[in-house]
Amino acid sequence: MPDADAPPYRYNAALAADIEARWQARWDADGLYETPNPLGQLASDRGLDGPKLFVMDMFPYPSGSGLHVGHPLGYIATDVYVRFKRMAGFNVLYTMGFDAFGLPAEEHARQTGQHPRINTESNIDNMRRQLDRLGLGHDQRRGVATTDVDYYRWTQWIFLQIFNSWFDPDARRARPIAELMEEFSTAARSTPDGRAWDDLSEAEQRELVDGHRLAYVADAPVNWCPALGTVLANEEVTTQGRSERGNHEVFKRPLKQWMMRITAYADRLLEDLDRLDWPESVKTMQRNWIGRSEGALISFPASTSPDGPMSDIEVFTTRPDTLFGTTYMVLAPEHPLVEELTAEAWPSGTPDSWTGGAATPSEAVAAYRARASEMSDADRSDSKSGVFLGAHATVPFTESQTVPVFVADYVLMGYGTGAVMGVPGEDQRDREFAEAYGLPVVRTVQPPPDHPADLAYTGEGPSINSRFLDGLDVEASKALILERLQAAGFGRSTVNYRMRDWLFSRQRYWGEPIPIVHDEHGPVALPEDRLPVELPELVDWAPRALARDSEPEPPLGRVTEWVDVELDLGGGSRRYRRELNTMPQWAGSCWYYLRYLDPRNDDHLVDPDVERYWMADPEPSGVGGVDLYVGGVEHAVLHLLYARFWHKVLYDLGYVSGPEPFKRLINQGYIQAYAFKDGRGIYVPADEVDGSLREGFAHDGQPVTRELGKMGKSLKNSVTPDDMYASYGADTLRMYEMFMGPIDQDRPWETRSVVGSQRVLQRVWRNVVDEETGELRVIDDGPDDELLRLLHRTIDGVSSDMEGMRFNTAIAKLTELNNELTKRGSGAPREVADAMIRMLAPLVPHFAEELWSRLHGSDAGSVTQTEFPVADPALLVTDTVEVPVQVNGKLRGRVTLPADAGEEAAVSAALAEPNVAAHVDGRELRKKLYVPGRMITLVV
């Protein structure tokens, strides 16, 4: 490093460190980034200036391993944008919290014996230190951690609101459960079996009401992971049927679990996507996740013998028009009708391939089910297999068309009704099954002549072999068959969703306790004044790695003195057993944006007026919510869908002013980094590799190969912000990250390029400050006309780039302006320096503060509180323009024209240009065109 004999006032890492520390201390002392609320504890007598803006990053999990340079990319981008908007006159709410419950802290605690809270808090401190060094303009008073008791008290409060609500399908919204009970008790709504409310026992009343709640207990097949000692949500299990964390084995077990009725909101979650300013890819992922499909429910009477008792097999299908192509039926292995429809013995003539080699249907079914339960969903998907139950079903509208009933694992219990009608002519999966078991194939839609005979046909065409549907196209056939099915009582149209209800409970310690106690009839909500339900201190808190065949057991069950409580919840003191499950990590992140608004409010989750000020949409048709939310695309579905769901419930119950939490979403790209492997395929530390793409890369003299990947320990290619602070300073790091490319794009990190951003800042510095003396180099003469016009074009371009978050091009324009100053070599004219420093302030705030105070004196105040420069429109228009000339589509020259020149004048000027004239060469002009200021086109 050449710093030893560098000029004393050069802007380098040492000076940057000094400047950054000094200004950060002053910002803190002045509370510069504290944002006032219209009322309440965070109100300020300085009042609310300008329109509001709420900008937010997805808050981080405070991991123990610290940050690499990829982590703060989004935070820097929002900070630059927020600073720009503040200078443009907005009252901006911008802060940062921590998503601190969850598995990693508990896993760490399990290995070290240290309580998760201690580890979590030290991680938060460390992460704060690394982030603070970047100079982010957060309102520090508003940050929350989901593990704060004052915070999770309100997470529990929201749970109670959800528990105490039901979804009214007629009103299409949540309503208080008390209103449902009122309707039952006044007979405005009848009970399922028609008895009067008062004739139901307490147990019956409770069961009826509990079955309507938005949070409910259900016996669900869950993913039990003994190695982690917990139940996992479907989305935490990989497609290989292992745990996403740790890659452990996962088994299906039935268990009483808390569920959230998100499916009730499926249509609203789907519809409102159209009103959001989100990346199209994220909306598409959510649409696919919800998976709405319109179809029909159809009942097939089935029995194990022609004169035996009948059971109805109900199927869901999107193609009711293909009903008459049904040649068999399939039940999922877990389907409840499998027992009833398993015959005593194989009917005569049953092919051997249908029996699975078993002596009786029940043996075959038992063996098949046992095998299916052992297999992961991925293994199940490979080939079509199944066994015959010995039963037959009758196709509706036919007396005689009976078809065999199979159990097969290509039908999933979790989708539709867990049963399908097998139509091998029109569905390729059914076709494959039919071929494996020698079942007949009947086409019900006429395929085009070139359609292969051995493939199902899923396209359009007239119905055939379908009785009264023959000749109708697919859509008309669907309509008619539905009408007939409905009239005959065999079925009806319905809408099915891929999305399931949200499995909400976890058998963990380090999560929010669910504020519920149980009596002999089931769950009872704790009253709000009993919140928070604090996590008990637990000495033996560690989850236990359990045997494969173990049953799920929550750690809280070990705190016996906590589990059993005596409470008076009205009607006298009695004993209850506490809920032992805790909430999933998603819970705390579902609503943190609301607490940012009013973090110290002890009476409300958020004051309604404060909520309205920050969240209500200025457009009457708008959805409201956070104005800009920035984060990784990995949260495209789960976090964003769960948060939308909770927000809609709170909206229905009147606690928030709009239907959506996040109005605009941007996914920042990832910073990737090159990783290097030696001849053995082992990664070598990337910072020890020499060479280039052309001459090849080497480590310790041995050739290595290069690949691009995620930054991290495993690829040995991490670069930490601390390294960059030490070599260049935080402002250079900020500028480099913003200069690398558009915010939403992945990009490879290249440490050797960072110096370019530092050199740009050094050139700016030199145009304002003398490196040798530290004196100002600014000149008091006004800029000449050319420079003044360049300045205003820069102001204009930088403003719109900042507004559009195109910080890379904003930096390029500022660099051009500064390069022009450097070229002149005389120090910056004061007016230009002033504007340039203000334009730099959002990007490199410490650097700009330092130059600002040198330019205007130490009591000039913060540059961040000045106005962003505004371009003078008069200086953006020019008298003359240089216009390119095309002849027959090829560029042949340029001419300078008055800006208001007409086509005739432009064309004659073009023809006067020698090179243009040479190419026209006296030939006839067939076409002439002048796009003012842009292009002259001649065709000869």
Partner RNA sequence: GCCCGGAUGGCGGAACAGGCAGACGCAGCGGACUCAAAAUCCGCCGCCCGCGAGGGUGUGAGGGUUCGAAUCCCUCUCCGGGCACCA
Residue closer to RNA (CB basis): 367 or 637: 637
| Binding of residue 755 to RNA (CB under 7 A) | yes
Q: Any residues with CB less than 8 A from the CB of 448 and at least 6 apart, and which?
A: 459, 461
Q: Which residue among 745, 773, 880, 908 contacts RNA (CB under 7 A)?
A: 745
What are the φ/ψ torsions at residue 515 (nearest 5 degrees)?
-80, 65
Centroid of chain to Cα 878: 47
Distance CA 656, CA 614 (A): 11
| Binding of residue 6 to RNA (CB under 7 A) | yes
| Binding of residue 4 to RNA (CB under 7 A) | no
Q: Which residue among 811, 835, 837, 841 contacts RNA (CB under 7 A)?
A: 811
| Binding of residue 753 to RNA (CB under 7 A) | yes
Stretch of residues binding RNA (CB under 7 A), selected from 67-75, 289-297, 720-728, 838-846:
289-297
Distance CA 513, CA 556 (A): 9
Q: How far is the CB of 176 from RNA (least distance, A)?
A: 33
Q: What DSSP state is assigned to residue 495? A: E
Distance CA 407, CA 324 (A): 21
| The Cα angle at residue 717 between residues 713 and 722, in degrees rounded to 5 | 85
Q: Report 469-498 residues binding RNA (CB under 7 A).
A: 496, 498
Q: How far is the CB of 443 from RNA (least distance, A)?
A: 16
Q: Which residue among 809, 831, 866, 917 contacts RNA (CB under 7 A)?
A: 809
Q: Report 402-421 residues binding RNA (CB under 7 A).
A: 409-418, 420
| Binding of residue 889 to RNA (CB under 7 A) | yes
Stretch of residues binding RNA (CB under 7 A), selected from 607-615, 654-662, 850-858, 889-897:
889-897
Q: How far is the CB of 321 from RNA (least distance, A)?
A: 11
Q: What DSSP state is assigned to residue 669? A: P
Across the strands, what pairs with 702? 699
Give the C-alpha distances (Å, rounded to integers) separating 767 from 712, 761, 849. Answer: 39, 10, 16
Residue closer to RNA (CB basis): 128 or 747: 747
| Binding of residue 382 to RNA (CB under 7 A) | yes
| Binding of residue 288 to RNA (CB under 7 A) | yes
Q: Report 33-52 residues binding RNA (CB under 7 A).
A: none
Q: How far is the CB of 416 from RNA (least distance, A)?
A: 3
Which sign, positive or negative, has the C-alpha torsion 925, 931, 932, 935? negative
Give the C-alpha distances (Å, rounded to integers) separating 297 from 1, 22, 466, 490, 492. Answer: 75, 70, 18, 8, 6
| Binding of residue 815 to RNA (CB under 7 A) | yes
Q: How far apart are the first and last CA of the chain?
A: 62
| Binding of residue 534 to RNA (CB under 7 A) | no
Q: Which of 584, 565, 583, 561 has the alpha carbon at shortest distance from 574?
A: 565
With CB under 7 A as the rule, give the number of residues binding RNA.
96
Q: What DSSP state is assigned to residue 493? A: E
Q: How far is the CB of 441 from RNA (least distance, A)?
A: 15
Let me know: does 37 contact 613? Beta carbons within 8 Å: yes
Q: Which of 390, 381, 393 has the alpha carbon at shortest distance from 422?
A: 393
Q: Which residue among 121, 150, 179, 377 contacts RNA (CB under 7 A)?
A: 377
| Binding of residue 937 to RNA (CB under 7 A) | yes
Residue closer to RNA (CB basis): 382 or 566: 382
| Binding of residue 427 to RNA (CB under 7 A) | yes
Residue keyed to tokens 């006309």: 785
Taking residue 183's Cβ as centre, other Cβ atoms within 10 Å add up to 15
**Structure token digits, residue 258:** 């808390």
Which sign, positive or negative, has the C-alpha torsion 221, 222, 225, 230? negative
Distance CA 718, CA 418 (A): 48
| Binding of residue 9 to RNA (CB under 7 A) | no
Q: In the 3-class helix/strand/coil scheme, how is 498-560 assigned residue by residue?
A: CCCCEECCECCCCCCECCEEEECCEEEECCHHHCCCCCCCCCCCCCCCCCCCCCCCCHHHHCH
| Binding of residue 691 to RNA (CB under 7 A) | no
Residues 607-646: x/- map of binding to RNA (CB under 7 A)? --------------------------x---x---------
Q: Report 293-322 residues binding RNA (CB under 7 A).
A: 293, 295, 316-319
| Binding of residue 932 to RNA (CB under 7 A) | no
Residue closer to RNA (CB basis): 498 or 558: 498
Residue closer to RNA (CB basis): 123 or 417: 417
Q: How far is the CB of 205 from RNA (least distance, A)?
A: 35
Q: Which residue among 347, 461, 608, 741 contacts RNA (CB under 7 A)?
A: 741
Distance CA 216, CA 254 (A): 16
Distance CA 276, CA 661 (A): 10
Q: Report 649-668 residues binding RNA (CB under 7 A).
A: none
| Binding of residue 160 to RNA (CB under 7 A) | no
Residue keyed to tokens 């928030």: 656
Residue closer to RNA (CB basis): 260 or 897: 897
Q: Report 551-610 residues binding RNA (CB under 7 A).
A: none
| Binding of residue 18 to RNA (CB under 7 A) | no
| Binding of residue 939 to RNA (CB under 7 A) | yes
Q: How far is the CB of 348 from RNA (least distance, A)?
A: 30
Task: Tell me the residue type at 220.
Answer: A
Distance CA 520, CA 389 (A): 40
| Binding of residue 133 to RNA (CB under 7 A) | no
Residue closer to RNA (CB basis): 239 or 400: 239
Which sign, positive or negative, has the C-alpha torsion 915, 919, 921, 924? negative
Taking residue 618's Cβ as centre, other Cβ atoms within 10 Å add up to 8
Q: Report 227-256 residues binding RNA (CB under 7 A).
A: 239
Taking residue 778's Cβ as centre, other Cβ atoms within 10 Å add up to 19
Q: Which residue among 822, 866, 875, 940 contacts RNA (CB under 7 A)?
A: 822
Q: Report 324-363 residues binding RNA (CB under 7 A).
A: 332
| Binding of residue 891 to RNA (CB under 7 A) | yes
| Binding of residue 760 to RNA (CB under 7 A) | yes
| Binding of residue 880 to RNA (CB under 7 A) | no
| Binding of residue 826 to RNA (CB under 7 A) | no
Q: How far is the CB of 520 from RNA (least distance, A)?
A: 37
Residue closer to RNA (CB basis): 67 or 805: 805
Q: Which residue among 46, 548, 680, 890 contacts RNA (CB under 7 A)?
A: 890
Stretch of residues binding RNA (CB under 7 A), selected from 100-108, 376-384, 555-563, 865-873:
376-384
Stretch of residues binding RNA (CB under 7 A), selected from 186-194, 206-214, 529-537, 758-766:
758-766
Q: How far is the CB of 297 from RNA (least distance, A)?
A: 10
Stretch of residues binding RNA (CB under 7 A), selected from 70-78, 279-287, 487-495, 782-790:
279-287
| Binding of residue 674 to RNA (CB under 7 A) | no
Task: Tell me the residue type at 319.
Answer: R
| Binding of residue 927 to RNA (CB under 7 A) | yes
Let me know: does 447 contact 466? Beta carbons within 8 Å: no
Q: Which residue among 40, 888, 932, 940 contacts RNA (CB under 7 A)?
A: 888
**Structure token digits, residue 925:** 């002009």
Taking residue 936's Cβ as centre, other Cβ atoms within 10 Å add up to 28
Let me know: does 137 contact 846? Beta carbons within 8 Å: no
| Binding of residue 130 to RNA (CB under 7 A) | no
Residue closer to RNA (CB basis): 360 or 888: 888
> What does the radius of gyration of the chain's CA atoms come to, in whole angstroms?
35
**Structure token digits, residue 513:** 């306790």
| Binding of residue 463 to RNA (CB under 7 A) | no
Distance CA 939, CA 930 (A): 12
| Binding of residue 139 to RNA (CB under 7 A) | no
Distance CA 237, CA 241 (A): 6
